């Protein structure tokens, strides 16, 4: 655990730059995120459950 903490302290400026850049890169993809709430996503057209 001490080695891990020492590595974080040693690389703190790189980490401080990389984390916001990664957050921005991932955040730009959120515009393509969609939610389909229809039950038709889960059942085929010929589903017995939908016919009943």
pLDDT in tens, the chain (52 residues): 999 999 999 999 999 999 999 999 999 999 888 888 887 778 887 878 777 6
Residue 15: CB partners within 8 Å, gap ≥ 6?
8
CB–CB of 43/50 below 8 Å? yes
- The domain locations on the chain are 2-51
Q: What is the DSSP string of 1-52?
A: -HHHHHHHHHTHHHHHHHHHHHHHHHHGGGGG------GGGTS-TT-HHHH-
Angle, CA of 19, 23 and 24, to the nearest 5°: 120
Q: What is the pLDDT of residue 52?
A: 63
């Amino acid at each position: 655990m001490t080695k891990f903490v020492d590595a974080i302290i040693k690389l703190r400026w790189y980490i401080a730059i990389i984390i916001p850049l990664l957050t921005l890169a991932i955040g730009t993809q959120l515009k393509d995120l969609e939610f389909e709430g229809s039950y038709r996503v889960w059942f085929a057209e010929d589903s017995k459950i939908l016919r009943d």
